[in-house]
Structure 1
Amino acid sequence: MSEISHYSELWTHRTPKSRLLRWTGWVALVALFIWCWQLMTANTIWYFVTDAPRQAADIGSRMFPPSLAYIPELMVPLWDTINIATLGTVGGVVMAVPVAFLAARNTTPSATFLRPVALFIIVASRSINALIWALLLVAIIGPGLLAGIVAIALRSIGFIGKLLYEAIEEIDHRQVEAVSAIGASGAQILSFGIVPQITPAFWSISIFRWDINIRESTILGLVGAGGIGLKLQASLNTLAWSQVTTILILILGTVIVSEWVSSKVRRAII
């Protein structure tokens, strides 16, 4: 009998204390959810919420059929969008490469000063959305394509820099030691010991970022940073829903093509 009671105590799923703590945690989580929900919906006009399906159906009926005659006017803005993404990616790569080498533990000249500065730049770039960068730059340098290009570049620094410095830290140090053993200089160690190992990762990261920038650059025109987003904003302001549909279809097609191109290029490189 004692063995049976010992066996049941041994295989108890949870102790009374752990069960109490578990239920207390669940009750606290539910209470937090209810409080957050009340806070977020305090100013909600529920009539608009209940009327949303009818409004969505009304707008949807106005969006079809798409205005195909509007497509010729979108070609130049679409080309501007692609240029924003491409030039912004190139600018981001140029700025991110030295930041990545400064952030990597095995290549930074100063782990106490330069590395924290480089990591701060990476975090700051990744923390601010491209749309916010564009909004700030439109206010500083004015509306146009330049603001969009710089916004994409600044946003890309953090993404490229983070992935690249992690690739630098993961290199095979035996190759670096072999190059150093024959008396190579610092530049030669970098050129023959480090760069060849990170080149595939560099191209893969850059192309992947370009693919992401195609998506992000399509909406920068909403804040005046050029591209097809300007046409989208104009169509929304004039309630030209058939034109909005055409723009959305064109954006979708562009994203699909960019995804296909980036996939093919990455596969060819890797």
Structure 2
Amino acid sequence: MTQASYPAYWEKHSRRQRLTSWFIWFLFITLCVFCWQQMNRDTLWYFVSDAPTQLADISGRMWPPRWSYMSQLWQPLWDTLNIATLGTALGVVMAVPVAFLAASNTTPSQWLVRPIALFIIAASRSINSLIWALLLVAVLGPGLLAGIIAIALRSIGFVAKLMYEAIEEINPNQVAAINATGASRLQVLDYAVVPQIMPTFIGTTIFRWDINIRESTVLGLVGAGGIGLRLNESLATLAWPQVALIFLAILSTVIFSEWISARCRRAFI
């Protein structure tokens, strides 16, 4: 019997793989250098070096917060919670049918309906809620309605994407079992698909509401209502003690939403 010939030493990667890896790293470093040069082109480093002094000065002006201003923040905080909650609810209602139309195993048409649904998801996710609010304020005027619709339009893509991926990953054996009973298409969705994706649906909805609490706090900067409107007014008048109090109020609201989200996840999932 002839003995098999082995290389004199073992190598994890071949020469071609090593060259490819080095080439990718070279492209990555080149891109980083190019981005750094582009950033430095319009950067005034005098202001950057003076930033610690300015930060210390503004922080000194913020302290102590103007606690008496809190009486004017309760209503904007309530508006912010309403924007996030109603926007999330509206976005979820619109995202559910889009998700079923986008999933490859539930869409009625792979060549027409599914691409349209995927385009809606991509369009929603590609535009930030602040930009949606800026456009809607120009169309609908300033107020809570623009903020609610902006949050809803942003939420469609997020919720629908996670849901349609969950729909495509369901156990097909349960679908086949329900089909074998002679159930209709709607009954198959009701008894085989929906129970499997319900934990994902609940978790995604709660997570999106938690995100929308944060996003709705800044919509007032473009006139969409909420506490961001008070923040914009305080920044415009350089009322730094009021800005500090608004920051604390926003932080407290976000912590509260985190607590609510955690409790809801433990209760429903």
Q: TM-score, normalised by structure 1?
A: 0.91
**Alignment partner of 1:269 is 2:265:** no
- Matched with 1:52 is 51
Root-mean-square deviation (Å):
2.2
Partner of 1:131: 130
Query: What one-letter code is carried by the residue in structure 2 that aligns with 1:71?
Result: M
State yes or no: 1:113 paired with 2:108.
no
- How many angstroms does 1:36 deviate by? 2.5
Q: How does 1:163-182 map to 2 (within 5 A)?
A: 163-182=162-181
- Which amino acid in 2 is paired with 1:37? W
Change (3 A) 1:20 1:194: closer
Secondary structure in 1 aligned to 2:122? Answer: helix
Report the Cα distance in structure 2 between the residues aligned to 1:252 and 1:57, rounded to whole angstroms: 21
In structure 2, C-alpha distance between the alignment counterparts of 1:186 and 1:34, rounded to whole Å: 55
Structure 1: state its 5+ residue gaps. Answer: 1-5
Could you tell which deviates more after superposition, 106-115 or 19-28? 19-28
Q: Which amino acid aligns with 1:48?
A: F
- Sort the Cα spacing of 1:194 and 1:247 in 2 relative to 1 into closer, same or farther, 3 A: same
Q: What is the aligned partner in structure 2 of residue 64 from structure 1?
A: 63
Please say if 1:140 is aligned against 2:139.
Answer: yes
1:160 is matched with 159
Matches within 5 A, 1:211-222: 211-222=210-221
Q: TM-score, normalised by structure 2?
A: 0.91
Deviations 1:123-167 (A, max 9, x none): 111111110111111111111100000000000001100111111
CA distance in 2, matches of 1:177, 1:18: 44
The equivalent of 2:223 in structure 1 is 224
Distance in 2, Cα, partners of 1:9 & 1:208: 55
Q: In the TM superposition, what is the alpha-carbon distance from 1:34 to its structure 2 partner?
A: 3.2
Shift of 1:194: 1.6
Corresponding residue number in structure 2 for 1:79 = 78
Cα distance in structure 1, aligned partners of 2:145 and 2:24: 51
Percent identity reads 63
Instruction: Flag the 1:222–1:22 CA change in 2: closer, same or farther, 3 A.
Output: same
Compare 13-22 and 60-69 and name the one that shifted more: 13-22
Structure 2 gap ranges (5+):
none
Deviation, 1:38, is 2.2
Shift of 1:71: 0.6
CA shift in 2, pair 1:136/1:17, >3 Å: same
Provide the C-alpha distance between the structure 1 equivalents of 2:17 and 2:199, rounded to a whole number of angstroms: 50
